[in-house]
Structures are given as structure tokens and as C-alpha cells.
Structure 1
Amino acid sequence: MNKLATILFLCLALTTAGFCHKPTGVWDAFAYGAKGDGKTMDTQAIQTAIDQCHASGGGRVYLHNGTFLSRTIYLKSNVTLFVEAGTTLLGSANVNDYPSTASKYPAYGGELVTEKMFIYAEDARNISIAGRGTIDGRGDDFNGPYLSPSFSGRPRILHFRNCENVQVRDITLRNSGSWVQFYQSCRNMVIDGITVDSRENKDIEKSRHADAKGRNTDGMDLVDCQIVRVSNCFINSGDDAICLKSLSPGESCRDITITNCIVSSNASGIKIGTETSGAVEDITVQNCTVFDTRVDAISVMTVDGARIERINISNISVRNVKGTAIFVRLGARNRTYRKNTKANTGFLKDVLIENVQGTRIGGYGCSITGIPGFPVENITLKQIRLRFDGSNKPLLSDDDTRKPVPIAPPPANPLVPEKIDAYPRGEMFGRLPAYGFYIRHGKNIVLDNLSLDYADEENRPAIVADDVDALEINQLKAKPSPNVPALVQLKNVRNSPNMPKSN
């Protein structure tokens, strides 16, 4: 057999085996043995297509015209996983099909593992998930307690770690077993036009877990990521919709824009914080809508030692939020997420929130609070128009027991507990002494052109400030309560010449 004949023979043999590929740039999963019938496990075919695409220098792995059942898939550099419109990539219903394996990067609790994922990438470059199809995580088929994925054994849909040049476009991610998307220490990311539909208790008028156990299905978690553009997304999630976090004291979430997104959540809508060890800085959120959300519409917080600064939030529309519209918090829970580390000393400053309009907002009251000796600094709220439910409407509590029940309207507590080490959430203090904004342990706080209103009876002033250095209130328009003597009540407010004298 001559040399040419030998080459043709080998290529024919490889084609029969599913490993020879024409240089089209597209690796069709059907060519590698996928059935796409929703019953046959297609993992090997999909993974082989990814591996061959990667080995050939990159291209598109194409899923089309079917439902592709699969275990964990490992995405690799220079590969786009493209799920065509009308096509579903369906996760296995067997939790054992999602292995936890060793990794050189620490997971949520500090262990060097991958945990359980449907689609996973580590140290990859130039990776994408695209198409108008659906990736279904099969979350309804997994049982488990309401816990972080490190402990629950329920798989996430996407988890990328230390990846660079990442794009996720147009895809629908639905029915996750846990966090829907978890991006950790990634750089240069674009997430555009996606839909997240992973809300296990959809009726916001019921208590949080009225119909099903919670699965902690955050819509999108950006953890210690840098240079990220999130735009044009719709997220309906069982837990926080969009959340920025830092798990490593030496890392940071930085240079991130979030724009033109619509979110609804059984927890918070747009959240900066909760797990906060390193830094979160240079963040812009604009032109977004938050509706039918159980906890906070907008929250900015540090409680585990993170440095948070230069946060810009603008042009946000809020509707039907059972917790509160705006929550800014510096605390000292000081939890660590890495082995043999110690929490930093956190601070929160240089936050601008402007052009926010909201209605049907629960009766807790908004808050801007630090802790004794550690004030939040340089917080400006400008052009804010909010309409609250009022004091006589029951609160829909959602405390850390995760067993919320409607409760009768309690009186506002004039002695607000510090709760220095508590989990941060807008309802953490109960019903605040102000129906609009309660401000405590702050420095250089500006409230400019606020319009505050309420629908039903209200027995609190619009604003209460306690232990604030340099408070400025300009052009306040607030509906007064007939049962309190003043719109604004001040206690230990200093260096504020345009304010009435403090008590």
C-alpha cells in the first residue's frame, strides 16, 4: 500500500470511529455518536467533540435538533459549546453522575475540589457557551437541604474557575440543582442576552418555601472576577439574582458593569456582598429592573473583612419588594473561606446610588449602617423616589431559619440592635424606626432630592439618623405621619450645619 493510500485508509478508519473531522470549524455531536433522544446518555459523544475541537485548535461544538442527556461536561480552551434554538442539553437525574474531583483551586469552604457541576471549566481560555437553546439542570430531581453547594451534593449548571476570555450568550439556563452560574477568579468575561429560569417557589405572595424546598439557586455569582460585562439578561431565581462576592482575602471583584438587566428573586435582586473577604471595587450597575423580590432590591455590604469602594448604581426601577429597596451595611461577621487565613478589617465607602424609583416596598424601612467605630463613608443617594407599604401591613419575614411566615405588624423598635456579626439582609433589624431611611454609624452621608411616600397608615418619621458625622439632606419630599412630630429625627449627628439640632 503506497503512502497516499495509507493516509486515506487511516482517515476512513478514524471517520468510522468518529474521530476524523473535516476542517469546517464545527464539531457536530451527532457525528460522534450522540443520539439526541433525551434518553440515551450522550456525554461521551459531546465530550469527545469538545476534546477533538480543542485538540484541533478550536471551533464550535454543535448541538441541534434534539435533547441531549448528559453527565458532567468539561469545557476546554478555544471551544464554543453552541446549543441551537429548540435544542436542550439535559442534565442527568442521578447526582452520582456529577463527580467531585481534586482541583488546585479552593472551593467555597476552602477544600481543593471541583464539587458538583454540569458544565465545568478550569484554567481555560477563549471559551463560550452560546445559542438560543436551553441547558436544563434537572434541579427538581435532586433532594437536599437548603445549604451551600459545598455541603448539599446538588450540582450547579455552570462553574468556571480561573478562566480568561469567557462569553456566555443568548442561552437559557433553567431548573438548576444549586447555584445556576458560579464564576470564580475569571477575567475578561461577557455575559449577554441570557435567560435564567430557576425559581422553585414562584409565587412571591406565599412564604418562601411554601411549595418546594429551597435549593439556593443563585442566578449569577461573580466571585473574585475582573473585567466583566453583564448585559441584557433576564434572571428569575430562587435565591439572589445577581451577586458579587469575594472568597479570598488577596483577591477582588473589580471592573464590572451590569446593565439593561431584569431580575426577580426569592432573595435579593442586585447584591454586592454577603461573602466578602477580599475587595469589591469599581462596579457600575445601571438601567435595570427589579420586581417580585423577597429580600432587598439593591444591597451593598461587607461583613467578612472586604474593602468595598467606588460603587455606582443608577437608573433602577423597583416593584413589589417584600424586604426593602436599598440596604447598605458594614458588619463584622468575619467568616473565612480559605484555610489558615484571617479576616481583614473591612470598610465600605464611596457609594453612589441615584435615579431609583420603586413602589410596593415592604414596611421594614431602608438602612445605611456601619458598626461602632467603623462607619460607612461617603454614601450618596440622589434622585430617589420610593413608595412603601406602611406600618399597618404585615411583614413577610424571611429570617435565617429559612422558614418565613407572615407576621402581625409589630411596632418599630426604637432601640435597634447592632447585630455586628449577623448575616446581612434588609430585614435583619426588624421594623426600623424610620419608614424611609435609617442611618447609623456613618460619615459623609448625602441624601439629595428624595421623595418618600407610603400607601397605608404609617407611625414613623421618614428619616432617622444616629451617630452620623456630616449628614446632608437636600430637597426632601416626604409624606408625614400624623403620629410623629417631625419628618426627620436626629441623634448624635455632628458637623451638619444644614440639619436641625440633634437630640
Structure 2
Amino acid sequence: MQQNTLCYHPVIHFIILALLFPLTNVHADTNPMVYYVQDYGAKGDGKSLDTKSIQNAIDACHHAGGGVVQLNSGTFMSGTIFLKSGVRLHIEKGATLLGSTNAQDYPDIGAQDPTKEERYNAGKALIYSEGQHHISVSGQGVIDGNGAALANLNQVRAHIIHFKACHDIKINDVSLVNGSWWIQKYDTCNNLQIDGITVNSKENSDMNKPRYADTPGRNTDGCNIVDSRNVQLSNCHIFSGDDGIVLKSFSKDLGCHNVTISNCIISTNASGIKIGTESAGKFHDVLVNNCIVYDTRLGGIELMVVDGGSMERIVVTNISLNNILGAAIYVRLGNRGREYTHNKMPSVGSVKDILIQNIYGTKIGRYGSSITGIPSAPLKNITLENIDLTFTGGNAPLYFEGYPTKPVEERTIDNVPEEEKSYPRCDIFGKLPAYGFYIRHVEGIDLRNLKLRFEEEDTRSAIVADDVSNFVLDGLKAQISPHAPAVIQGRNMQTAAIVNCISLTPAKSFLHASGNKTQQIVLSSNIWKNLGTHLSTDNSFPISEIHEKK
């Protein structure tokens, strides 16, 4: 009998060896040179200014081809330090890099504009880097911006970290605390990884007080990603005095794309997860997944274009919201038209191809969530599915940011302002006519499997849709007050299907339809048992435009 033999093949042999003995990067330095800042004269006593010593260590490390600059136990007070290619700034557990309170220790930084042959004032920072590569900040220690003292004593604000036009960046494990401005700013960067960091800089953290009851705000955004690409931000805890995690664009030639934000916990004095506000360029291919937003004063999830840019292929999924005083979800296309770096006045932008799914929220505030374009520029192809929100409800007056002298105007479907040129905030319209979702100027929107409830009776409709076409509402389960106009109010709806919906409590009407542009509305497989009437109209359109099917 012939015995089977295994023939040698070089490719198979290589694969077997690779599985048994995983390859390592032959170019990686597994034992990098460590430069201790104390060896360069740093005192680490929290009183002496160690800027020069830390910078000398960074310069030596850089000139030697790279390595680690390390801060061991102690508090190292410093002004601006400049991180350079190949250098990892490592802050050991028990060590603190402390920002100086002397304004003279933070020079104004001239940065190169990537779209023009000019430099401009990029502001101030504790750690700054421009045009560098393979840079890192790591360790389980603390970087303390000394923000309260710096801002109060000198009226000076500085980023804790500001990287400009850098690539191959890693920020991991460190705690960034007590900032005086945006905590982190990564501008026109590529290949950025931020993992496992903590931001703790939430001044005025008592949500039961007005926003600036105890101290002026310092705009301490937790993390700002500006005109950057190939970004991974994960496993972070952001506790910030202004917006939590924000993507921005200041250049019509750039934007943010290929960005993932995952497994983060966020609490802020403004908005939780936000894409936009500054929105000159293009946001595309962004995934936000598995995050918690809690104790947040404005919106939980906000997507917006108002400066001529565009937004598409954005996925927000698996988000838990709790105690959001503003809106759970805010999607906005406006026309503020802000001019950046001598650009011409931008044209109106666009927002399309947005998926928001698997959102669960409790203690959501009373403004109402909104999904709105403007008459000349509707949103397109928006999908919300598996949304379960419980609102605080109630009909008592609402006050702007908690100030008792600033009542918020209560709107009806007939008097919601366009606010086309306004700064985009989830509260710009006032208290909306829907406690759940207000939708206006949208072409193509699918709402599937929505559950909307309130803790205290709210006499508004669950959903209001105005100037909306190609509208699908499938599987709404909504609590409603018997004093509300209807479960759903629709004005100038065109080509709409409302199916498989249930009113969880008795209501006057299921759908109140109005507007002379209303046409081709289909109602099918809805349950009417809790309703006084399933349909009411203002007779502004032929009733034959509404088709009811069992």
C-alpha cells in the first residue's frame, strides 16, 4: 500500500509558519529609547516651570530618531511644548503635566493654512504639533490644563492638545482635566487613533441650575475633530463643559471622512455627539456606534450642515440617552452661510443618506426632536428605525437653559419659524408642536418602529410632518394626551404611507391633515380602538387624496 505524503509547497509552508509564529514588524522598535525629563532638569515639584526641560527632552528624542519622553511621579508645570515626529510623550501613573497659569508661557502659534499659502493665528495650546508624524501621548497619568485658574486670572484660553496637519497619531489612556478651551483639537490630521482616554472638565455640572450659574463657560469641548480623515475614537469617557465629541469643517476643500466613534460615555453641558455647526466641507462615511450620552443640557445626537458643506452616509446606531434636557435627535440643514478663510459666500449645502437606529432614551426634555431642511434645500433619504424614547413631558412653561427670565416660545404647526440663518441649536425653534418628532422640508424619510411616551401629560402631538414627501411611518406606538390635536399632524404631505400604527392611549384623532399640497396619503393596518376619529382635516385639499386600507 502506498503511503500518503504531504508535498512541500513554499506558499503553504509560509502560511503554516505565519500561523504558528506570527510575524512582527521588523521596523518596530520594541525597546524604544526613553528620555526622562528629570535628566534634562525638570523638577516635578508643581511650582518650578519645567517647560524648557520637557522641550529639551522632546528635541533630543526627535533628533535621535524617536522614542519615549517620560514623566514619572511628580507634578510638572509647563507652558506650551511642541511635540515632534517620532516622539511619544508618556505620562506615568502618578505623574501630572500641569498647565502654567502665566499667560506669557503660552505664545500665540502661527499655523499654516492647508488650502492657502498663508499662516494664521491658531491660538494657544499646552501641547502643540504641526506638520509632524508618528506622534503619541500616552500613559495613565494626568494632563491638567489648570483652566479655571488660567481663564480667571488672565482671561486666557488654551487647548490642552492641538495637533495641526499631522499624521499617524495615537492618544491613549491619559486623563485630560480642567481645560480652559476646547480640550482637544485635531485639525487636518490623517490616521488618528484616540483610545481609552478620560476628559473631565465639566464646569457648571449641576443640571438643576442655569447653565452658567456658578462660573462663566470656557467652551471646554471634549474632543474636536476638524477636517480630518481616517479617525478612530473609542472607549473614551467625556465629561465636558461644552460639546462632547464634535466633527467640524472650516474648509470647503476638506471635511471629515472615514471616522468611527465607538464605545464612548459622554456627559456635557451642551451637546453630546455632534457633527457640524462649522460645516464648510464634506462629512461622509461616519459611523457612531455603542455610545451612552447622559446628563446633557442640549442635544443627545446632532447632525447639521449650515455653511455650504455636505453630509452623507452617516450611521448612528446603538445609542443610550438619559437625562437629555434638549432634543434626543436633531438633524438640520440650514443656510447660515458663514465665510471661512476668505472663501466666497457659500451656496446652500446638502444632507442625505442618514441612518439613525437603535436609540433608547429616558428623561428626554420638552423641546421636541427635529429633522428639518429649508424650503430651497430639503433633507433627502433619512431613516430612523428602532427608536424608543420616554420624555419628561408636562405643560408648564419651559425656560431657556434654565434661566427663569427667558421663557421659551411655544409653537404650533402654523408658527414654527424657519431660522434659516441662525446658529444651529436644537432649541432654535422654541418648544415645537410635537413632543416627539417635528419633521419639515424632507424628501424621503422612513420612520420605522418608533415608541414615544411621556412621564407627565403633554398635550402636543407625537409627530408633526410639514412639507414632507415620500414619507413612510411604519410601526409607531405613541402615547398621546386626550387634549392633543392628533397623534400625528401632517401638513402638505405628499406620497405618504402610514401603516401598522397604534395609539397607546385615547386620543381625539389619529391623523389631522391639512395644506393644499397634500396628496396621495395611504393609511393601512392601523389600530383605531383608542381614537375618537381616525382622520380629521381642515378641508384645504380633496379628501380623496387620503386612501384608507384595512
Q: Same fold (TM over 0.5)?
A: yes
Query: Quick one: which of 105, 108, 112 aligns to 1:104?
Result: 112
Which residues of 2 match residues 119-130 of structure 1 at below 5 A?
Answer: 119-130=127-138
Residue number in structure 1 paired with 2:62: 54
1:255 partner SS: strand
Residue number in structure 2 paired with 1:19: none
Q: Does residue 205 of the first structure (1) align with residue 202 of the second (2)?
A: no
Preserved CA contact (<8 Å) 2:100 2:150:
no
Which residues of 2 match residues 303-314 of structure 1 at below 5 A?
Answer: 303-314=306-317
Displacement, 1:204? 1.3
TM-superposition CA deviations, 1:358-408 (whole Å, max 9, x none): 01111111000000121011110000000111132443413xxxx944766
Query: Quick one: which of 166, 170, 174 aligns to 2:169?
Result: 166
Residue number in structure 2 paired with 1:422: 422
Moved more, 275-284 or 23-32: 23-32
Q: Does residue 272 of the first structure (1) align with residue 275 of the second (2)?
A: yes
Displacement, 1:433? 0.6
Which residues of 2 match residues 286-301 of structure 1 at below 5 A?
Answer: 286-301=289-304
Q: Does residue 445 of the first structure (1) align with residue 435 of the second (2)?
A: no
Q: Does residue 118 of the first structure (1) align with residue 118 of the second (2)?
A: no
CA RMSD in angstroms comes to: 2.0
Number of equivalent positions: 470
Separation in 2, partners of 1:106, 1:207:
40
Preserved CA contact (<8 Å) 1:362 1:395:
no
Residue number in structure 1 paired with 2:478: 478
1:483 partner SS: coil
Preserved CA contact (<8 Å) 2:50 2:76:
yes
Displacement, 1:65? 1.0
Residue number in structure 1 paired with 2:45: 37
Separation in 1, partners of 2:110, 2:362:
48
Give the aligned residue type for 1:481: S
Q: Does residue 259 of the first structure (1) align with residue 301 of the second (2)?
A: no
Residue number in structure 1 paired with 2:219: 216
Residue number in structure 2 paired with 1:138: 146
Separation in 1, partners of 2:300, 2:404:
20
TM-score by structure 1 length? 0.90
Preserved CA contact (<8 Å) 1:376 1:442:
yes
Give the aligned residue type for 1:96: Q
Separation in 2, partners of 1:224, 1:340:
16
Displacement, 1:481? 1.4
Query: Quick one: which of 227, 245, 248 aligns to 2:248?
Result: 245
Separation in 2, partners of 1:466, 1:351:
19
Change in CA separation of 1:234 and 1:406 when aligned onto 2, cut-off 3 Å: farther
Change in CA separation of 1:292 and 1:477 when aligned onto 2, cut-off 3 Å: same
Change in CA separation of 1:42 and 1:497 when aligned onto 2, cut-off 3 Å: closer
Residue number in structure 2 paired with 1:341: 344
TM-superposition CA deviations, 1:297-349 (whole Å, max 9, x none): 00000000111001000000000011110000000000022124332430000
Residue number in structure 1 paired with 2:326: 323
Separation in 1, partners of 2:446, 2:35:
57
* Gaps in structure 1 of 5+ consecutive residues: 1-22, 146-151
1:455 partner SS: strand
TM-superposition CA deviations, 1:162-183 (whole Å, max 9, x none): 0000000000000111110000
Residue number in structure 2 paired with 1:195: 198
The percentage of aligned residue pairs carrying the same residue is: 48
Give the aligned residue type for 1:448: R
Residue number in structure 1 paired with 2:540: none
Displacement, 1:47? 0.3
Residue number in structure 1 paired with 2:495: 495
Preserved CA contact (<8 Å) 2:331 2:371:
yes
Q: Does residue 354 of the first structure (1) align with residue 357 of the second (2)?
A: yes
Residue number in structure 1 paired with 2:461: 461
2:52 partner SS: helix
* Gaps in structure 2 of 5+ consecutive residues: 1-30, 500-510, 515-550
Separation in 2, partners of 1:312, 1:260:
15
Which residues of 2 match residues 372-411 of structure 1 at below 5 A?
Answer: 372-398=375-401, 404-405=403-404, 411=410
Give the aligned residue type for 1:292: D
Residue number in structure 1 paired with 2:103: 95
Separation in 1, partners of 2:313, 2:32:
46
Structure possessing the higher relative contact order (Cα contacts under 8 Å, 6 or more residues apart): 1
Moved more, 95-104 or 118-127: 95-104
Query: Quick one: which of 235, 246, 252 aligns to 1:232?
Result: 235
Separation in 2, partners of 1:297, 1:24:
42
Separation in 1, partners of 2:343, 2:478:
50
Separation in 1, partners of 2:127, 2:145:
10
Give the aligned residue type for 2:290: N
Change in CA separation of 1:144 and 1:41 when aligned onto 2, cut-off 3 Å: closer
Query: Quick one: which of 353, 360, 367 aligns to 1:364?
Result: 367
Separation in 1, partners of 2:252, 2:32:
45
2:111 partner SS: coil
Change in CA separation of 1:297 and 1:501 when aligned onto 2, cut-off 3 Å: closer
Change in CA separation of 1:238 and 1:406 when aligned onto 2, cut-off 3 Å: farther
Q: Does residue 412 of the first structure (1) align with residue 420 of the second (2)?
A: no
Separation in 2, partners of 1:99, 1:408:
42
Displacement, 1:104? 1.9
1:50 partner SS: helix
TM-score by structure 2 length? 0.83
Preserved CA contact (<8 Å) 1:389 1:456:
yes
Separation in 2, partners of 1:190, 1:396:
40
